[in-house]
Amino acid sequence: MKIRFWGVRGSIPCPGPNTMKYGGNTPCIELRFQDVDRLIILDAGSGIRELGNYIVAHDLPKGPISTEIFLTHTHWDHIMGFAFFAPIYISETKLKVYGPVTYEDDTLEHVVGGQLTYRYFPVRQEELAAEIEYIHLKEVRLDMGDDIMVTTKYLNHPLLCLGYRFEYHGKVFCTAYDTEPFRNVFCTDPHDPSYDEAMSSEGEQVAQEENQRVEDFFAGADLLVHDAQYTQEEYESSKVGWGHSSFEHAIAAAKHSGVKRLALFHHEPMRTDAQIDELTKTYCNPDYGGNTEVFFAREGMKIEL
């Protein structure tokens, strides 16, 4: 598998002189499978615009474009680039869009394609030239053909959100964003009038089991791309429940599950290149990561598994 990052930033695009090194585009990852002519795209954040242009320049001359987009969820930073993905305006393009929907009556086609209405954009969905099929996903294991297997896992985010595990010729590529650790939702303070000892300990157990299931999901991955928007201090001070992880959590989870390489991902938009460089001294230090190699995902970065 060949992986290339086209967007690594969370929440909103933030181009400018302070984000040149790590990049300012929101999530989009290209995944190519060697020996078979398959291209899978993870997320349609603003990074997909450049990827679409690359595909038109490099793939289209060899024949019509056929690709699949797997959406982790439909928060805007993960779908905002869809209308700027050039292949959807080419009539021979065949595109499948996979993703979870939180409400059954809100189809993926409506949520994603619905960005193309005159209210927001000069082209309507009905006018798109490409053949686009939308497929709703839950927790499943799919045989994609060509020896490509994909498994999905629900994560902990305010909206239904899926982690993906791609397996191909003995290699494993996994994503776990946007997510934060599951936590006990019951009161844990014995002095609080709402405290119930049984509920509190059951809540603790359920949270631990769910966190274990997530770690099992990416066990042994050759590469894990994990949500890491905050430091643990930032997370605990005001970001609990926002649906994003700390560096500390991402690294600990990757180490527990024997992940070989961990890409810290979904960078906080406020974070400058200089600040990320400073963070690498702590979080990418081999003394910290142990057997797991830790790095900050960077736009344009290529990795081969």
Catalog residues that contact Zn ion under the rule CB under 5 A: 10, 75, 77, 178
Q: Which residues make beta-bridge pairs with 143?
A: 149
Nearer CB in complex with Zn ion: 83/128: 83
Smallest distance from Zn ion to CB 243, Å: 6
Nearer CB in complex with Zn ion: 178/299: 178
How far is 260 from 246, CA to CA, in rounded Å?
A: 19
Nearer CB in complex with Zn ion: 75/165: 75
Joined together, the tokens standing for residue 42 give 């993870």
Nearer CB in complex with Zn ion: 84/242: 242
Nearer CB in complex with Zn ion: 82/186: 82
Find the Cα–Cα–Cα–Cα dihedral 282, 286, 292, 295, rounded to 10°: 50
Joined together, the tokens standing for residue 237 give 């001070």
How far is 51 from 26, CA to CA, in rounded Å?
A: 12
The burial of 199, by beta-carbon neighbours within 10 Å (0-12 exposed, 13-18 middle, 19 or more buried), is given as: middle
How far is 300 from 8, CA to CA, in rounded Å?
A: 10
> How many angstroms separate the most distant Cα atoms in the chain?
69
Nearer CB in complex with Zn ion: 148/174: 174
Q: Using an 8 Å Cβ cutoff, are 87 and 65 in contact? A: yes
- Say whether 110 sits in a helix, a strand or coil: helix
Smallest distance from Zn ion to CB 175, Å: 12
Q: Within a 10 A sphere around the Cβ of 277, how many other Cβ atoms? A: 12
Smallest distance from Zn ion to CB 152, Å: 16
Smallest distance from Zn ion to CB 45, Å: 8
Smallest distance from Zn ion to CB 136, Å: 18
Smallest distance from Zn ion to CB 77, Å: 4
Please name the residue that has the structure tokens 């291209």: 39
| Dihedral sign from CA coordinates of 243, 112, 27, 84 | negative
Smallest distance from Zn ion to CB 163, Å: 13
Amino acid at 90: I
Nearer CB in complex with Zn ion: 178/180: 178
Q: Nearest residue to Zn ion, using CB?
A: 75
